Each structure stands twice: as structure tokens, then as C-alpha cells.
Chain A
Amino acid sequence: MGNILDITGLCKRFGSKQVLNGVTLSVPESCVFGFVGRNGAGKTTTMKSIIGLLKPDDGEITICGERVTYGGARTSRFTGYLPDVPEFYGYMTAREYLSMCGKIAEMKPSEIKTRSDELLELVGLSGEKHRIKGYSRGMKQRLGIAQALINRPKLLICDEPTSALDPVGRREILDILKDAGKQTSVFFSTHILSDVERICDRVAFLEGGKVALCGDIEEIRRKRSDTAVEVLPENPADAALLIERFPAGELCDGCFVLKNASGIDAEELMRFILEKRISIIRFERREPDLENMFMEVVGE
């Protein structure tokens, strides 16, 4: 399976600020890729460079094997882009806007018509006859996805598509992106980690102008060593027994916590509890979540 997007050593400086300092990552086919970083980390700069709206100082970007040049006219046929706060012409209807986008993307009129119908259905705007000026933020975001998908792109690039939305709007957009991910690769930036956990196959953390961590979400989870086992004994005195047997553990609010516990450690702990007939309220193996990973990556 080839890569849809390859970024190698991408650098960009604005004035004295080095925003990107050698970003390297790849997005494979049929993948929903989460691009995580704090505000101002350079996510939008990376995305604008991918679609050719920004000229990088150094590095190379290829989409489907074709090198992206400033202006991006050649590679624009492979991509669809949803800006963070998409702005449309308020006096148009959604259908008129999609038709204009289709013409710009050099599509045939009949194709524009069928594709617009499909997409308006997908994003739940098919019954909407009003002009865009009356749309809510969520509706604009959905229209934004429709316009980005009009030319059947191989790579859908979304810049923080859920940041400005309420929980319902967020859920709708994530469902649409998940659906879209069945037909095209999705590369989306966010700082909401639960969104990434919900729909992404792969993730990259951007920090200090570089990709600090990148890979398959499950694989990253497995590799991380910060799995912990927590035991809450019914009788607080029993916690002392556990500490005695497992000196690496520690007490936290009456709860025994064994950090960096492997599967074997967990097994041993459970056997000890059974042996000593310690009555427990809770036995939990804590998975490392993205938030912890992210905090670790950004050093906080």
C-alpha cells in the first residue's frame, strides 16, 4: 500500500519565528490521520504548505507521488481542503457554491450535479434551500466538508474541523469524517485528543516544529511503558500488605498504584490478592491515553 502524502524535512520561518523545523511524516492510503499539536505549533502552516498556499523554506511534499509546488494547481486534483473557520459567499445557496467549486475543479456539469446531490445528502444539507448567510457554524462546517470532497480527492485535509463546535456538531462532523475515511484518506489537525481516539488510525504529534511522535495509535499505545495497575482494597489496612510485597508500588488516596506494570506484574499482583484473600473494590489496568502521551511529548 503506497503513501498518499509524504512530507520530508519541511521547514518554514515567519520573521524570526521558526514555525516548522524539519517536519517529516507520511499518510498511507485509506487512513484517518490525526495531526495533533498545541495552538501555534504549526499545524495550519503544514496544511497550507500541503495544498500549495504557502511556500516552504525547505523540504519536500509529494501527494500521490507528485511534488507539490507553490500555487498547488497540479496537485489540487488529489486534495480537498477544509479551513479551520470556512468562509463562504453568504448570498449563494449550498448547491450554487458546490457548483462553482466543481467548475473550478474542472468537473463536467453532469458530474457536478450528481456529486453535489451525493455530498449534500452525506453532510445532511440536502433539504436546505436557504442561502448560506443563514447557516449555523456547524452547517458551514458540513458544507465545508462537502466542498472539500466535491472533486473526489484522494486526500481530505481538515484544519481543526471540530474545535469551534458544540458537542452535537462535533459528533456529526466526526461521523462524517469517519464515513469519508472509507473512500479517501483523511488528514486532520486537532488539539482535541478524544476526537483522535475516536476516529483515527494513525497519529502524529507536532511539537517544537517537528513531529515528536508518529505512528499507528494501537502500536504507540503498546510501545508506551506507562501502563499502570490500580487496586482499591476494601480494607485500607490491606494496602500496606500490597506495598510490602510490591515495594515499587505507591499509595494514592487509599489506592495502591503499581506504575509501569507489565502484564506479568499484573498477573502476579492478582495472584497475591487471591492468595491473601484481600477483599477489593476495584482492580484496574490503566491504558496509556493520548492525553498522557501528548503531555509527555510536550514535556508538561
Chain B
Amino acid sequence: MRFLRNLITFTGKELMELCRSGRLLIFVIVFVALGVMNPATAKLTPWLLETMADSLEASGVSVNGYTVTAMDSWTQFFKNMPSIGLLFTVVMSGGFFTSEYSRGTLIPLLAKGLSRNAVTAAKTFTLLLVWSAGYWLSYGITYAYTDFYWDNSTVKNYAFAAFALWLFGVTLLCCVVFFSSFANSAVQVLSGVGVVYIVMSLLGMVGTISDYLPSYLMQSGELLTGQASPEDYFTAVWIAAGASAVLLAAQIPIVAKRRV
């Protein structure tokens, strides 16, 4: 029960920090902009092609008769979300845990009996809440605009594809939580996550292994055209969920022994 009360108190502190530090506003701006950008880019594509038509024709590319569909908008979503939205969230969360240790802000609270697990749980919850809220807000905006201008029903599996990409983000953020349990700075945490990502990308080049890696979920855009079906992603989904749980469990004993 004490753990639960500690968790609620510390989560309250995290949410207050998010609002008062101005980070919430930055997240909202970034994710709203991302949501608007996807249909906007699709909508502007014909105009862009038209203005560039002369130079493109000079290089032998004909751009006549290009029709924009809902697919273009969703393709933008699956291109922008990992490269901007997820990257931004991971970078912003690099010092989320380590700053508490390096600045010593936890010491007076731990001396009052605050549970270390409650600290990690509250911070992890806040981190995943920000990612999820930002992600689905962006998704909602893209969905609404795309449906308004075109027709979402022409695109296949976009909801499941979005879920898969979101889950990959969760796994990467669990990596942040894990590395934060022993790293001393944001740079160390981000380096750790970077190494994990590079290793996954390298392994992804090896034949069939790629289908079982969490990073496979980043290619969920292929679901939109029907080239792949959700079943193809089930293994990677379970592995990503399992890896997230293992990472969260593995940091508990490390945090317990961490010197403050």
C-alpha cells in the first residue's frame, strides 16, 4: 500500500514537472505539428510537383496526372513518426531519470522512505504516457484530416500498423528506462539505446531473423498496401512486448543497489 501511495505522490510530482518545465507544451506542439504535417504534405504534393515539373522534365521525369490518395497521407505518418516523433521522445527522455540521481534531488525523499521502485514506476508511467498521448494525438489528427480530404477506407490495416509502431516506441523507451538504471548521464543512456538500435538494424539484415525483431515493427507501413498482413507481425509484437517487460524487470535489482 505504501508503494502505491508513493507511486501516486511521485507521479503527481512528475506531471507537475512536465507542465511547469514547459516540456508538455513542446511535446504537444511537436506531435500536433506531426499530425498536421502528414495530410498537409500529401495535399501539397501535386502543387510541389507542378512547381518542379520543368526541372523534373528536364531530367527526364514526367509528372503528369499524379493523384493524391489517403495512402500518401498515411505513408507520411509511418515515415515521419519514427524519424521525428519517436526520435524526439527518446532524445528528450535521455536525462529524465539520470538527472534525479546526478543532481541529488532524490536523496531527501529516499531518506523519508520513498521506494526506489515507486520512483522508477512513476517515471516510466509518465514517459509512456507522454509517448502514447503524443502518438495517438498525432494519429487522430492524421486520421481526421485524411478522412476529410480523402477516404481512409481505401487504406488497409492502418490502425494495426499504427499500434505496431507505437509498441516499437514503447520497447525503445523501456530501453531508456533500463539504461537509466545504471548510466550517469543522458549521453550514456542515449548511447546505450543507439547501440541497441544499431544491433537490431544489423541483425535485421540477416535473413529470417528480421521478422522476429522489435525493429520489424518499424516497417509496419507495408501493411497499408496489403503487401503484408497483421499475422506477419504477430511474432515481432510478442517479442517487443516481452522484451519491454524483461527490460523493466531487469532494472529493478540494479536500481536497488545504485548508490545515491
Indicate whether A72 sits within 8 Å of B113 (C-beta atoms), given known contacts A89-B17, A91-B17, A92-B16.
Answer: yes
Task: Please tell me which one of the listed residues B105, B108, B115 contacts residue A148 in the complex, with CB atoms under 8 A apart.
Answer: B108
Known: A76-B112, A103-B5, A103-B9. A53 touches B107 (CB 8 A): yes
Q: Are A87 and B13 in contact (CB under 8 A)?
A: no
Complex interface bits, A83-104 against B, C-beta within 8 A gives 1, otherwise 0: 1011111011000100011011
From the candidates B5, B111, B259, name the one contacting A72 in the complex (CB within 8 A). B111
Given the interface pairs A54-B259, A87-B104, the reply to whether A105 lies near B112 with Cβ below 8 Å is yes
Contact A81-B16, Cβ < 8 Å, known A103-B9, A104-B114: no
Q: How large is the interface on B (under 10, 10 to 19, 20 to 34, 35 or more residues)?
A: 20 to 34
Tell me the minimal C-beta distance from A6 to chain B in angstroms.
19
**Which chain B residues in 70-127 approach chain A with CB under 8 Å?**
103-105, 107-116
Give the tally of cross-chain contacts (CB within 8 A): 72
The answer to whether A91 and B112 touch across the interface, beta carbons within 8 angstroms, is no
Size category of the binding interface on chain A: 20 to 34
- Report the minimal beta-carbon distance from A105 to chain B, rounded to whole angstroms: 5
Q: Residues 151-172 of chain A: 1 if any B CB is under 8 Å from the residue's CB, otherwise 0?
A: 1000000000000000000000
In the complex, which residues of chain A have a beta carbon less than 8 angstroms from the beta carbon of B259? 54
Contact assessment for A91 and B16 in the assembled complex, using a CB-CB cutoff below 8 Å: yes
B109 near A101 (CB under 8 angstroms)?
A: yes
Decide yes or no: A144 and B108 within 8 Å by CB, A77-B113, A105-B113 being known contacts.
yes
Residues of chain A within 8 A of B5, CB atoms compared:
103, 106
- State which of B9, B20, B21, B113 has its C-beta within 8 Å of the C-beta of A100: B9
Contacts of B13 in A (CB 8 A): 89, 100
Q: Which of A101-151 contact B (CB under 8 A)?
A: 101, 103-106, 144, 147-148, 151
A280 within 8 A of B: no
* Contact residues in B for A51 (Cβ distance below 8 Å): 111
Residues of B with C-beta under 8 A to A227? none
Question: Interface code A63-93, partner B: CB below 8 Å = 1, 0 otherwise?
Answer: 0000000011100110111110111110110
Cα distance A54–B111 in the bound complex, in angstroms:
11
Q: Give B224 Cβ to nearest chain A Cβ, in Å.
A: 42
Q: Is B146 an interface residue (CB 8 A)?
A: no
The smallest beta-carbon distance between A40 and chain B, in angstroms, is 16
Q: How far is the CA of A100 from the CA of B9 in the complex (A)?
A: 7
14 contacts between A and B (CB under 8 A): A51-B111, A53-B107, A53-B110, A54-B259, A71-B256, A76-B111, A81-B108, A86-B107, A91-B17, A91-B21, A101-B109, A104-B9, A104-B112, A147-B108
